[in-house]
Structure 1
Amino acid sequence: MSIKKQCKLLGVPRSSYYHKPKRKVSLEDELIMQAIDRIYLDEPTYGSRRMLDELKLLGYKLGRDRCRRLMRIMGIEPIYPKPRLSTPAKGHKKYPYLLRGLEIERSNQVWSTDITYIPLGDGHVYLTAVIDWSSRYVISWKLSNSLDTSFCIECLEEALEAEGKPGIFNTDQGCQYTSDAFTGVLKSHGIRISMDGKGRALDNVMIERLWRTVKYDDIFIRCYETMSELYQGLSAFFLKYNARKHQTLGMSPEQKYREGLSMEEAA
């Protein structure tokens, strides 16, 4: 398949396909950040102090300020007692968490999104995705070389165009999601906005599980070097993820999602 067709299918410009992230930190820092990412997947409650202890056990030599700075670049904070990603920008409205005690059983009842750090060669980029909560179906995903709001909005709009709209959309309290630009898209479609409660480790558990699967089943194994390799690899991975049988569901995420839609239409 030609690069032009691949980019069209992936929904990215050809310039992004060839893009290699510009170095924002030293190579040594990138290696430390990759170690932090692996530790954080297993221990998401670790703050900079405990993260530093783990890094030192692995042989890395750095201070707490440096550890804290690298975690900030990655966009991660301990799940408890602080929210996982960035805090809301000044003036941004925070919304209540609507999922507590809610039985989520239907397709398009609740969608969720998040951002995660992805190592790439001797640099890094960021991945965001929108998933259907009840089926674990990945509706859309996007990559960016920065923690900006635009790629989160693009991912949201792509999901809305592909699968209609959910009743509730859940996010963390990061500035990307509390921004007027992002919440404005949700409001314009009449979607109820839910945001993780501060310090609640399980409030966005479905997408947290997705990141763990993506990294252990693909990213850490394949060790992508370029953006083009990453686009192709993740495209193949998400197609496989949506199509393969999920042990808890007893079927694939896409099958569960489509079955849920059919039941809604029949009702």
Structure 2
Amino acid sequence: MSKRKQHHPEFKAKVALEVLKGEETVSELASRFGVHPTMIHQWKGALLEGASGVFERGGRQAAEVDEEQVKDLHAEIGELAVANDFLARKLKTLDRQVRCKMIEPNLPGLSVSKQCALLSISRSSVYYEPKGESQMNLDPMRQMTWQLRNGDYLVNEKRIRRLMRLMGFIPIYQKPNTSKAAKGHKIYPYLLRGLRVDRPNQVWCADITYLPMRRGFLYLVAIMDWHTRKVLAWRISNTLEAGFCVDALNEAIHKFGPPEIMNTDHGSQFTSFVWTDRLRRSSVRISMDEKGRFLDNIFVERLWRSLKYECVYLHAWDTGSDAKAGVRKWIEFYNHKRTHSALGGKPPAVIYWQRNETTTPDQQVQRVA
């Protein structure tokens, strides 16, 4: 039985910080760092949970120290850090095989693990000699499973998936279950049946969709005013935690004030405590679609269709920054310039401010800006 690979805390922190940047999808990060996507999700959560501890102040009293000795030690540490950084940068320019030959297994006082860290190589590379792929695997690598079977290759989908992952090939297809419910979360009733929605901020709705990238997916959440179809706030994330949804909700409430009712589907992000607690603290009534009825949130579904056919499918974004810039440009166009048949040929933002009788002109100018 193979021993489970152990990752250093520094490596975990590096991967988690890359996830928080939002520039790459989880699939891309998993391929680049050679770890499973589930581990990336766990490391991101651990980083977010432990971040507050950095700023906590303990009640311990500092021990008395020799200031001169501390100053000398700091100077020595600084010199060693500069020297270590200089050597590390120079060593990285050497081929990995050359760096592997520099390892001295029996060197006293400096373990193989420490030597590997100083040379920026993995410890396993010192002991393991890669066998490479057999010619039988290399020949059918660019073929699909059914084509290979027709050609008398004994393969299955898992083997093809492994070989495609080895080459960095990821198919683009719709990500399933962006609205997957969580067990134990409270499901609220649907409040919009028979309700006449005739003014802004009476009902808001929210939903999540996927954004296909060159490799993998990003996820987009939008908060929309039901009556005017105006997109009030949005966020993009490379993971499906509830945090980026709450960030969009906070922005919408801050800019436009809370609605009377918020309607969503049963997705775990919208049934989570952080989401529902934020709504309850703002005295917002919570409404959720009935199971299997996507038409209960039809206006957001229509928004996704327009966004993807008019923007997303016309581009193949490489980074999260590219995706955010493209989505931001399209939503600005949608809110302020794109005509809407249900609004008499006017853009959603125009109708929102015309019919929002509770907002003064000065506030309208400030919020639009």
Q: TM-score when scaled to structure 1?
A: 0.70
1:16–1:243 CA distance, 2 compared to 1 (3 A): farther
| Correspondence for 2:216 among 94, 110, 123 | 123
Residue by residue over 1:127-177, the C-alpha shift from the partner in whole angstroms, topping out at 9 and shown as x without a partner, is 000000011100000001011111111111111111101100001011111
* 1:222 pairs with 2:315: yes
Return the structure number with greater relative CO, CA threshold 8 A, min gap 6. Answer: 1
**CA separation in 2, counterparts of 1:145 and 1:157?**
19
Aligned pairs for 1:161-240 (under 5 A) are 161-240=254-333
Corresponding position of 2:348: 253
Tell me by how many angstroms 1:182 deviates: 0.7
Q: What amino acid is the match of 2:334?
A: Y
RMSD of aligned alpha carbons: 3.0
Percent sequence identity over matched residues? 39
Residue 22 of structure 1: CA displacement? 3.8
Structure with higher strand content? 1
Gaps of 5+ in 2: 1-16, 32-143, 147-155, 158-170, 361-369
Cα shift at 1:262? 2.6
3-state SS of paired residue (1:74)? coil
Task: Give the structure 2 partner of residue 23 of structure 1.
Answer: 27
Question: How much has 1:15 moved relative to structure 2?
Answer: 8.8
Instruction: Judge conservation of contact 1:75–1:117 (CA < 8 Å) in 2.
Output: no
- Which whole-Å CA distance do the structure 2 matches of 1:171 and 1:114 have between them? 6
The question of 1:92 aligning with 2:185 is answered: yes
Q: Which has the higher helix share?
A: 2
Maintained 8 Å contact 1:16/1:227? no
Distance 1:19 1:236, change over 3 A: same
Write the distance in 1 (CA, Å) between the matches of 2:348 and 2:276.
Answer: 27
Give the direction of change, closer, same or farther, for the CA distance of 1:96–1:193 in structure 2 (3 Å limit).
same
Unmatched 5+ stretches in structure 1 = 1-12, 27-58, 64-69, 77-83
1:113 aligns to what?
Answer: 206
Q: How many residues align?
A: 208
After TM superposition, which residue ranges in structure 1, 4 or more long, deviate above 4 angstroms? Answer: 13-18, 59-63, 70-73
Look up the match of 2:65: none
- Shift of residue 123 of structure 1? 1.8
| Distance (whole Å) between structure 2 residues aligned to residue 233 and residue 93 of structure 1 | 35
Superposition pairs for residues 48-67 of structure 1, below 5 Å? none
Q: Counterpart amino acid of 1:96?
A: P
